[in-house]
A = this chain, B = another copy of it.
Amino acid sequence: MPKKVDHQKRKIQIAETTWKVIVEEGIEQATVRKIAQASDFSVGAVRHYFASQSELLHFSMELVSERVMQRAKERKFSKEQNPLEFVTEGICEILPVDEERKIEMEVWLAFSAKVLVDKTLQELSNKVYQDIHQGLKNVVQALQLFEIAKKELDLGLEVNRLHAIVDGMAMHHLLNPEQFTREEMIATLNYHLKSILQ
């Protein structure tokens, strides 16, 4: 008998508006009132979908990781493709190579700074670290299976290194886009990947 709204869709809609506010004004300006206004809801409506502000923020952070993971899962390798290219493109799913990915990374950075003092976000941060680490491990192993990458690599250290390069470059490009351009970022990734090839 009542009006039926897709709760999940509404939550996602509000979370994406939260991203927008965070990107434009910073996470400390991501107040309930501002998010409500930006998403054309009343404060009461937002509160109807999220019991508290921290629940809203947690959901918004989770949505970032879900989007990245979703894209990663959708990727399929076709036999005709160059494996190195395939791997490079896969890593570019994480890097801020376009506006969409830039927004996700900016939001993620804002939340990451919060992780240090917010225990409830640590679990999510750790999970995402693990997931990406595993993904990159698969990348290196795949290159070895294809007999493209060197066999004598120390897998653990190699993955640590690649993971640090990816996140380090992402941060550098976000914070200093003129000094470390998108093109430099991609060139540096290619340079590194080539360095572990046979």
Residues of A within 8 A of B (CB): 23-29, 106, 109-110, 112-118, 125-126, 129-130, 133, 154, 156-158, 160-161, 163-169, 171-172, 174-176, 179-180, 184, 187-188, 191-192, 195
A118 near B188: Cβ-Cβ < 8 Å:
no
Specify which chain B residues have a CB less than 8 angstroms from the CB of A116 in the assembled complex. 23, 26, 106, 109-110, 174-175
Q: How far is the CA of A192 from the CA of B114 in the complex (A)?
A: 30
Interface SS of chain A: helix, strand, loop or mixed? helix
B106 near A109: Cβ-Cβ < 8 Å:
no
* Copies of chain A in the complex: 2
Q: Out of B26, B126, B161, B195, which one reaches A117, CB within 8 Å? A: B26
A180 near B168: Cβ-Cβ < 8 Å:
no
Q: How far is the CA of A164 from the CA of B171 in the complex (A)?
A: 8
